[in-house]
Structure 1
Amino acid sequence: MSGQGRNLTPIIVERHGPKKAPMSSSLAKSVSLALLLSIALPVAVVPALELDTERFMPLEEVQPGMTGVGRSVFQGTTIEEFDAEIISILKNAFPKHDLILARLSGGPIEEAGVIAGMSGSPVYIDGRMIGAVGYSFGLFPKEPIAGITPIEQMLELFEREDRSTHPQLTRHEETWEELLAGFVYSRASEPSHTARSLAETAAIRHPLPSGGGISPVRTPLVLSGFDATAISEMTSLLDRFGFIPIQGGAYSGEEAAEIPLEPGAVLGVQLVGGDASAFAIGTLTYREGDRILAFGHSMFNSGQAAAPITNGYVHLVLKSLYDSYKMGAPVGIVGTLGQDRIPGITGRLGTEPDLIPFDITVASPGLPAPETFHLEIFDDPIFAPQFVRWSLASIVRTTNRGLGNITLHADTEVELRSGQTLHLDNIFSDLTAIDAAGEELGTSIALLMLNPLERAQIARMQTRVAIEETLRTASIERLHLEQTRVHPEEEVALHIWLRPHLERPIPVQTRIAVPADVPDGTYQLIVSDAATAQAIEVLRATWRFIPTEFDQLLHLLEDQDRNDEIILTLILPRPGAVVRGEELPLLPPSVLHVMQPELEAGEGGMTGGKVVFRTDISTDFVITGAKTIPLTVDRSESSVRK
Structure 2
Amino acid sequence: MRSLHRGWFLFLLLFPFLFTETAGETAPNFFPLAEIKPGMKAGCHTVLRGDKIESFPVEIVGVVEGSGPVRHFILIKFTGDRPGISAGMSGSPVFIENRLAGAVGYGFTNADPRYGLVTPIEDMLKLWDKPVNLGREVYYFQRGGLDGFTGVAFGEKNTGDLFLQARPVATPLLLSDPNPRAFRLLSASLPEDLVFPVAAGSQARAKRKNEEERNFLPGGSFSVLLADGDYQVAALGTITWIENRRFLAFGHPFLNRGVVEYGAGGAYIHDVINSNIMSFKLGTALPVRARVTRDRGAGVAGELGTIPQTVKVSTRVLDKETGREGEYSFQAIRDEQLLPGLALAGVLSFIDRTLDRIGPGTATIRFKVTGENLPAIERENIYYGEDIAVAAISEIGRFLQLLTDNEFLQVKIDEIAVGIEITAERLRARLTRLDLPKKEFYPGEELTVTGVILPFRGEEVDVPLEVKIPEDFSPGEWILSAHGSSYKITVGEEEEEAGEIPEVGTEEGLEDLESVTSLEELVKKFLTRPANNELVVEAYPLYPPEEPGDDYAESSSGKKWTVPTNYYLVGEKQVIVKVIAEEATENEENGEENTGVSGTKSAP
Q: Normalising to structure 2: TM-score of the pair?
A: 0.80
Q: Which residue of 2 aligns with 1:127?
A: 98
Alpha-carbon deviation of 1:350?
Answer: 0.4
Equivalent residues of 1:545, 1:556 under 8 A apart: no
Deviations 1:53-93 (A, max 9, x none): 41112211111111111111111111111111111111117
Equivalent residues of 1:367, 1:399 under 8 A apart: no
Aligned counterpart for 2:432 among listed residues 448, 454, 477: 477
SS at match of 1:153: helix
Q: Does 1:145 pair with 2:115?
A: yes
Q: Which residue of 2 aligns with 1:92?
A: 66
Q: Which residue of 1 aligns with 2:517?
A: 548
Q: Does 1:588 pair with 2:534?
A: no
Q: C-alpha distance in 2, partners of 1:266/1:336?
A: 15
Change (3 A) 1:349 1:489: same
Change (3 A) 1:295 1:558: same
Q: Does 1:570 pair with 2:555?
A: no
Deviations 1:564-595 (A, max 9, x none): 11111122367699xxxxxxxx97359x9xxx
Q: Which residue of 2 aligns with 1:252?
A: 205
SS at match of 1:333: coil
Q: C-alpha distance in 1, partners of 2:113/2:388?
A: 48
Alpha-carbon deviation of 1:504?
Answer: 2.5
Alpha-carbon deviation of 1:407?
Answer: 0.7
Deviations 1:293-348 (A, max 9, x none): 10000001011111110111111111222121111112221211100000000111
SS at match of 2:487: helix
Q: Does 1:219 pair with 2:161?
A: no
SS at match of 2:403: helix
Larger radius of gyration between Structure 1 and Structure 2: 2
Deviations 1:356-403 (A, max 9, x none): 100011011366453210111112222221121211112112211424
Equivalent residues of 2:470, 2:556 under 8 A apart: no
Q: C-alpha distance in 2, partners of 1:300/1:612?
A: 44
Deviations 1:103-125 (A, max 9, x none): 02446x32xx2111110011011
Counting only pairs closer than 5 Å after superposition, residues 556-635 of structure 1 correspond to structure 2 as 556-572=525-541, 588-589=549-550, 610-611=556-557, 613-634=559-580, 635=582
More deviation, 250-259/451-460: 250-259
Equivalent residues of 1:270, 1:308 under 8 A apart: yes
Letter in 2 for 1:222: L
Q: Which residue of 2 aligns with 1:311?
A: 266
Q: C-alpha distance in 2, partners of 1:232/1:612?
A: 37
Q: C-alpha distance in 1, partners of 2:193/2:378?
A: 33
Segments of 5+ residues of structure 2 without an aligned counterpart are 1-18, 133-153, 494-506, 589-601
Alpha-carbon deviation of 1:437?
Answer: 2.9
Counting only pairs closer than 5 Å after superposition, residues 15-164 of structure 1 correspond to structure 2 as 52-92=26-66, 94-106=68-80, 109-110=82-83, 113-138=84-109, 141-160=111-130
Counting only pairs closer than 5 Å after superposition, residues 386-397 of structure 1 correspond to structure 2 as 386-397=341-352
Q: C-alpha distance in 1, partners of 2:315/2:178?
A: 14
Q: C-alpha distance in 1, partners of 2:273/2:557?
A: 63
Letter in 2 for 1:78: K
Deviations 1:13-71 (A, max 9, x none): xxxxxxxxxxxxxxxxxxxxxxxxxxxxxxxxx98557534111221111111111111
Q: C-alpha distance in 2, partners of 1:563/1:207?
A: 46
Alpha-carbon deviation of 1:611?
Answer: 2.6
Q: Which residue of 2 aligns with 1:417?
A: 372
Q: C-alpha distance in 2, partners of 1:326/1:457?
A: 35
Q: Which residue of 1 aligns with 2:418?
A: 463
Q: Normalising to structure 1: TM-score of the pair?
A: 0.76
Change (3 A) 1:79 1:229: same
Q: C-alpha distance in 2, partners of 1:612/1:74?
A: 65
Letter in 2 for 1:461: I
SS at match of 1:532: coil
Q: C-alpha distance in 2, partners of 1:349/1:552?
A: 41
Letter in 2 for 1:588: G
Change (3 A) 1:377 1:612: closer
Equivalent residues of 1:539, 1:608 under 8 A apart: no
Change (3 A) 1:419 1:236: closer
Letter in 1 for 2:122: E
SS at match of 1:610: coil
> What percentage of aligned pairs have identical amino acids?
25
Equivalent residues of 1:407, 1:433 under 8 A apart: yes
Q: C-alpha distance in 2, partners of 1:67/1:608?
A: 81
Q: C-alpha distance in 2, partners of 1:94/1:426?
A: 52
Letter in 1 for 2:528: D
SS at match of 1:399: helix
Q: How many residues align?
A: 528
Q: C-alpha distance in 2, partners of 1:412/1:458?
A: 13
Equivalent residues of 1:226, 1:276 under 8 A apart: no
Aligned counterpart for 1:338 among listed residues 272, 289, 293: 293
Equivalent residues of 1:226, 1:391 under 8 A apart: no
Structure showing greater relative contact order (alpha-carbon pairs closer than 8 Å, 6 or more residues apart): 1
Q: C-alpha distance in 1, partners of 2:489/2:347?
A: 25
More deviation, 55-64/207-216: 207-216
Equivalent residues of 2:358, 2:389 under 8 A apart: no
- Over the aligned positions, Cα root-mean-square deviation in angstroms equals 3.3
Change (3 A) 1:329 1:539: closer
Letter in 2 for 1:253: A
Q: Which residue of 2 aligns with 1:432?
A: 387
Counting only pairs closer than 5 Å after superposition, residues 272-287 of structure 1 correspond to structure 2 as 272-287=227-242
SS at match of 1:523: strand
Change (3 A) 1:539 1:314: closer
Letter in 2 for 1:122: P
Counting only pairs closer than 5 Å after superposition, residues 478-493 of structure 1 correspond to structure 2 as 478-493=433-448
Change (3 A) 1:324 1:237: farther
SS at match of 1:155: helix
SS at match of 1:611: coil
Equivalent residues of 1:238, 1:244 under 8 A apart: no
Equivalent residues of 1:453, 1:549 under 8 A apart: yes
Segments of 5+ residues of structure 1 without an aligned counterpart are 1-45, 164-204, 578-585, 593-606
Equivalent residues of 1:565, 1:617 under 8 A apart: yes
Q: C-alpha distance in 1, partners of 2:128/2:570?
A: 56
Q: C-alpha distance in 2, partners of 1:566/1:442?
A: 24
Q: Does 1:520 pair with 2:490?
A: no
